[in-house]
């Protein structure tokens, strides 16, 4: 069995944004000679997340509205009392972003069958930026034969 790792980077925009990273994952898989196995996708940040869902513009807007209802930026959060803890100078008030992230997930695993991701017709791997703009890294690990 082979195990191959890669980091992909995403430059994100301000606020909540959702990026379809399926093409980068497929490109990585094509660079390997793995026929059957799995790919692990792991977000390495506490204010980002992953999901498998449909990449449809109006749905993505619905998701952003839904997340903002769950954790409005304007609510009062203890994490935002920056004067009460040691933080870097550029520390943002981002408790709402952390709360959104815990409602999602930091990793996904997708089977690889006959050198293809075994995603359904409308499924894409979506990367959620909840506290942008930032330079983010996503860890990919393909294992298989």
CATH number for the domain spanning 45: value is 2.60.120.460
- Find all residues with CB under 8 Å of 31, minimum gap 6, and list them: none
| pLDDT tens for the 145 residues of the chain, in order | 999 999 999 999 999 999 999 999 999 999 999 999 999 999 999 999 999 999 999 999 999 999 999 999 999 999 999 999 999 998 999 999 999 999 999 999 999 999 999 999 999 999 999 999 999 999 999 999 9
Domain of 33, in residue numbers: 2-144
| The two structure tokens encoding residue 57 | 């513009």
Going by their DSSP bridges, the two strands 135-144 and 2-11 should be labelled as antiparallel
| pLDDT (0 to 100) of residue 81 | 96
Residue 82 DSSP class: G
132 half-sphere exposure, CB direction, 13 A CA radius: 21
Distance CA 24, CA 21 (A): 5
| pLDDT (0 to 100) of residue 68 | 98
Q: Structurally, how many domains does the chain consist of?
A: 1
| pLDDT (0 to 100) of residue 40 | 98
Distance CA 60, CA 82 (A): 31
The CA distances from residue 139 to 8, 43, 129, in Å, are 7, 6, 15
CA-CA-CA-CA dihedral for 67, 69, 73, 78, to nearest 10: -100
């Amino acid at each position: 069995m082979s195990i191959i790792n890669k980091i992909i980077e995403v430059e994100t925009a301000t606020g909540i944004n959702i990026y379809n990273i399926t093409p980068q994952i497929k490109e990585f898989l094509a660079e390997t000679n793995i026929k059957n196995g799995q790919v692990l996708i792991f977000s390495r940040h506490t204010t980002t997340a992953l999901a498998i869902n449909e990449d449809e513009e109006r749905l993505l807007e619905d998701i952003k509205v839904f997340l903002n209802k769950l954790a409005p930026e304007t609510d009062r959060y203890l994490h935002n009392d920056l004067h009460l803890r040691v933080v870097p100078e550029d520390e943002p008030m981002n408790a709402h972003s952390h709360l959104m992230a815990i409602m999602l997930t930091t990793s996904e695993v997708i089977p690889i069958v006959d050198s293809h991701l075994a995603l359904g017709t409308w499924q894409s791997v979506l990367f959620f930026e909840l506290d942008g703009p930032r330079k983010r890294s996503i860890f990919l690990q393909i294992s298989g034969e």
